[in-house]
């Protein structure tokens, strides 16, 4: 087994976030980052000792910022901030989300703009390294002043309070998990509580993970579309590069090139190229696949540009600027919220087209000679009839999830925080959308594979044939009498989710665009 490469914090890449969040890659604080942390802490210590109040250092927070807090109460101030802000509710969020959130908060601490002490940053490194994961809840963030409640639950663990999951996944008190790992809680100093909770890290972490998944899913959608075009006796001529160049969107060109490569040397496609084929045009769900998948790809890349900028950001309020601390509004989640919502639209529309392609296979009036519902004995057997119901139910849910969260705003903190992004909510629903798209595309792959088998003795393209074989090797059976379908659907979902469908095709034709 290959061990994950150690991720060094400062600046992070998408791959770094995925490696730590999903694959438990070890984390270290770079020497430069540690030096930056030390320098910014010296500034905060100097301001804390000064008689003039400084927001976040010697005052209350939010609507209580006018209160000057005396020196003897400042340790309590930081503890109180973390305890009161750890007000999340509902189910636990996924472990990978919490780990991404912790890593991204650490990345901002490493910029030297927050004023935390080195030992506080190092304890966050240690929690990631030891696999100790604070319990973060579904509800609590408005996506402005950052993801306050989720981050506060993580900060709570640093002071030895609240609940965490230990490396074995058991729910235990934070103090117990720290002790078992040989770690001691920190006593938060001036500004540290605020620095630990004021960031867009949850939103950004979920965006980066969704981008990783969507890039694979859109390549898989091209594979599924190629299988459907082929098995429904469609033409590949509409995907030619010269036709696509008439509308030079880069995502469209890549998707069309994938379809051409996937359908190359198809015996099924070759069987109806002659002059005796009287079909003029294929349905939109077949013919326009590159236009829709391509627009989705371009949207994903726009979102990736936003995420890249955010990864290079220092999100806190106030921030250390040279020898001073300044208030700002960089914690507002609007840039992330907008693209998170945009990607929800992408997931819904790509899934909608996938479901339409699948449905064509099941209707004898539209499937060009295949049995109704691809059933073995139609009437006795129902074939894949209800698999399309499952797709339709998911697509309907995806359309509801595509309604934007970022257009809503509920004022908070006694009207001090009078406009918020709801970006955390946008991110949470996008995770459900990505899962739904995975399931819809998997059912299309399963359906198209059965249809390709039913086209025998015509041979599919080498690439699509490899996908059919991969399904069969995994236990998704070919045509035959009705059987329990749900396990086969879940197997197909797993093959889509882990990239096996794409990899099967790429093993034959090389890497897809």
Burial class (CB in 10 A: 0-12, 13-18, 19+), 51: exposed
Contact criterion met (CB below 8 Å) for 156 and 235: no
> Around Cβ 161, how many Cβ atoms within 10 Å?
18
Tokens 């900028």 found at: 309
DSSP for residue 92: E
Contact criterion met (CB below 8 Å) for 251 and 294: yes
Residue of 475, 297, 447, 464 lying closest to 359 (CA atoms): 447
Phi then psi for 363, rounded to 5 degrees?
A: -100, 115
Residue of 88, 122, 69 lying closest to 197 (CA atoms): 88
Q: Determine whether 55 is an active site residue.
A: yes
Residues with Cβ within 8 Å of 42's Cβ and at least 6 positions away in sequence, in order, are none
Contact criterion met (CB below 8 Å) for 383 and 372: yes
On the CB side of 182, how many CA atoms lie within 13 Å of its CA?
3
Phi then psi for 232, rounded to 5 degrees?
A: -95, 20
Contact criterion met (CB below 8 Å) for 224 and 360: no
Residues involved in catalysis: 55
């Amino acid at each position: 087994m290959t061990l994950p490469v150690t991720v060094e914090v400062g600046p992070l890449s998408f791959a770094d976030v995925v490696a730590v969040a999903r694959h438990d890659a070890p984390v270290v604080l770079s020497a430069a980052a540690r030096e930056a942390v030390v320098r910014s802490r010296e500034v905060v210590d100097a301001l804390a000792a000064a008689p003039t109040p400084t927001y976040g250092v010697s005052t209350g927070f939010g609507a209580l910022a006018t209160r000057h807090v005396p020196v003897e109460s400042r340790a309590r101030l930081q503890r109180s901030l973390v305890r009161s802000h750890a007000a999340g509710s509902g189910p636990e969020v996924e472990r990978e989300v919490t780990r991404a959130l912790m890593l991204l908060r650490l990345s901002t601490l490493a910029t030297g703009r927050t004023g935390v002490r080195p030992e506080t940053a190092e304890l966050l490194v240690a929690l990631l390294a030891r696999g100790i994961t604070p319990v973060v809840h579904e509800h609590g963030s408005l996506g402005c002043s950052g993801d306050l409640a989720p981050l506060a639950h993580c900060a709570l663990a640093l002071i030895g309070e609240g609940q965490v999951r230990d490396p074995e996944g058991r729910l235990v008190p934070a103090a117990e998990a720290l002790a078992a790992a040989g770690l001691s809680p920190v006593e938060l100093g001036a500004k540290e509580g605020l620095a630990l909770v004021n960031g867009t890290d949850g939103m950004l972490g979920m965006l980066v993970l969704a981008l990783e998944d969507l890039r694979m899913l859109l390549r898989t959608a091209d594979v599924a579309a190629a299988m459907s075009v082929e098995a429904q006796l469609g033409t590949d001529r509409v995907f030619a590069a010269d036709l696509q160049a008439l509308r030079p969107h880069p995502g469209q060109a890549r998707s069309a090139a994938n379809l051409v490569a996937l359908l190359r040397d198809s015996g099924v496609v070759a069987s109806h190229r002659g002059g005796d084929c009287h079909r003029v045009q294929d349905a939109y769900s077949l013919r326009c696949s590159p236009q829709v998948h391509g627009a989705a790809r371009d949207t994903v890349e726009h979102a990736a540009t936003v995420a890249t900028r955010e990864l290079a950001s220092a999100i806190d309020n106030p921030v250390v600027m040279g020898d001073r601390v300044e208030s700002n509004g960089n914690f507002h989640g609007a840039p992330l919220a907008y693209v998170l919502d945009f990607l929800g639209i992408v997931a819904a529309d790509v899934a909608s087209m996938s479901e339409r392609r699948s449905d064509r296979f099941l209707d004898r009036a539209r499937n060009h000679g295949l049995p109704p519902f691809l059933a073995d004995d139609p009437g006795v057997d129902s074939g894949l009839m209800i698999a399309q119901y499952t797709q339709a139910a998911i697509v309907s849910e995806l359309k509801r999830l595509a309604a934007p969260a970022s257009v809503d705003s509920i004022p908070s903190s006694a009207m001090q925080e009078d406009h918020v992004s709801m970006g955390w909510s946008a991110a949470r629903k996008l995770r459900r959308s990505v899962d739904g798209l995975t399931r819809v595309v998997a059912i299309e792959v399963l359906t198209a594979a059965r249809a390709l088998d039913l086209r025998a003795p015509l041979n599919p393209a080498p690439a699509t044939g490899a996908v059919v074989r991969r399904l069969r090797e995994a236990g998704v059976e070919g045509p035959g009498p009705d059987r329990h379908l749900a396990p086969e659907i879940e197997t197909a979902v797993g093959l889509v989710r882990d990239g096996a469908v794409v990899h099967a095709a790429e093993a034959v034709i090389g890497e897809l665009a």
